[in-house]
Amino acid sequence: MTTRIADLPTPCVLISRRILESNLQAMAERCRSLGVRLRPHIKTHNLPEIAQRQLHAGAGGVTVATPQEAALAARHGVRDIFVAREVADRVDLCALLDVARSVHLITAVDSVAGAEALAEVAAAREMPMAVRLEVDTGGQRCGVATLEALTALARRVLALPALRLEGIFTHEGHVYGAADHQDLIRQATAAVQALGAMGAGLRAAGVPCGEVSVGSSPSAKTATDFRGVTEVRPGNYVFNDGMQVANGTARIEDCALSVVATVISRPAPDRAVLNVGSKLLGSDRGKNASDTGGYGLVLEPERQVLTRLYEEHGVIDAATGLRVGQRVRLLPTHACIVANLARTVALVDDRGGVVEVWSNRRYA
């Protein structure tokens, strides 16, 4: 007998098979039209089942954040992996080298100290490692911010026999803080152009720069000038979420991931309490153009904002038409956090049937 959504305990996380597949195809087609390679960031879901679908749709490899995520991807057949967060701990560096025995692995570097630490471990194992240099295009997180600093770092990497300089990359996540959708387009385009200019500047200085890689779903969808860029690394596009809807890069009907919860209390006429909280939804609200005004949006039976969260409780402070025991479907503000915190997710069809249940391998 087919399991139905109604048979699942709440709170539960659902992924619409139809919308997921549509999102995968849309981004693959966008990248083909731009003439850039797609290397999606799979930290959004950490599900091999989705990673394989992304590769089948045309991705040339994947992006991950940690050595552990790289190992998970490699165990499930992914053969081209970029670890887009710097690694400095020797134990983690050794873990990277372990993964690199069986796959093409690229690592992130943004300092001479980081490059030399990686080179030392790679040389000891006689395993040359491919690296990309991170550039700060406005996010003020990791990365070098000037062409002078980038050129100096690149030359140091080229002088280390255990390292192979593959190119440069950025994460322009600051675009989520744009004032409005038009500002988001401007910021995304500026960040993409800035990285392209950095690549051109390196080559003009006589430094080889093959890959020029940008990474965020909003910029992949909206930036208007990709000249000089060879690759994009969006992550959230597979699901979309409340932040993408708020900043205008997705519609509610483009959102593949939702959460089903149950009304457990109506302690006041205008207040409803659900059996889901920050342990599943996280605590992101977004910011500026990406601010959803709450921690989730009730989609069914009618739209209402989840305004407060506790660990195991979610509160709607302007509740209407809800009764104790009623199930509601929520659009989370930040789908990546939900997918990370959920131990299982259910792939569902449009008829309310559960197609598959996938386990979060982070808890395996």
- HEC states along 23-53? HHHHHHHHHHHHCCEECCEHHHCCCHHHHHH
For residue 290, what pLDDT is reported? 77
C-alpha closest to that of 140 among 165, 116, 173, 113: 173
Query: What Å distances lie between residue 40 and 31, 58, 60, 103, 291, CA to CA?
Result: 11, 10, 9, 17, 24
- pLDDT tens digits for range 167-212: 999 999 999 999 999 999 999 999 999 999 999 999 999 999 999 9
- pLDDT tens digits for range 303-351: 999 999 999 999 999 889 999 999 999 999 999 999 999 999 999 999 9
- Give CA 320 to chain center in angstroms: 34
Confidence band for 292, pLDDT divided at 50, 70 and 90? confident
pLDDT exceeds 90 at position 287: no
pLDDT exceeds 70 at position 363: no
- Domains in the chain (CATH in brackets) are 5-11+249-363 (2.40.37.20), 18-238 (3.20.20.10)
CB burial of residue 198 (10 Å; 0-12, 13-18, 19+): buried
- pLDDT tens digits for range 60-106: 999 999 999 999 999 999 999 999 999 999 999 999 999 999 999 99
- pLDDT tens digits for range 99-114: 999 999 999 999 999 9
For residue 35, what pLDDT is reported? 97
Span 28-43, average pLDDT: 98
CA distance 4 to 19: 18
pLDDT exceeds 90 at position 295: yes
The two tokens of residue 214 are: 């940008």
Residue 195 near residue 170, CB atoms below 8 Å: yes
- pLDDT tens digits for range 270-281: 999 999 999 999
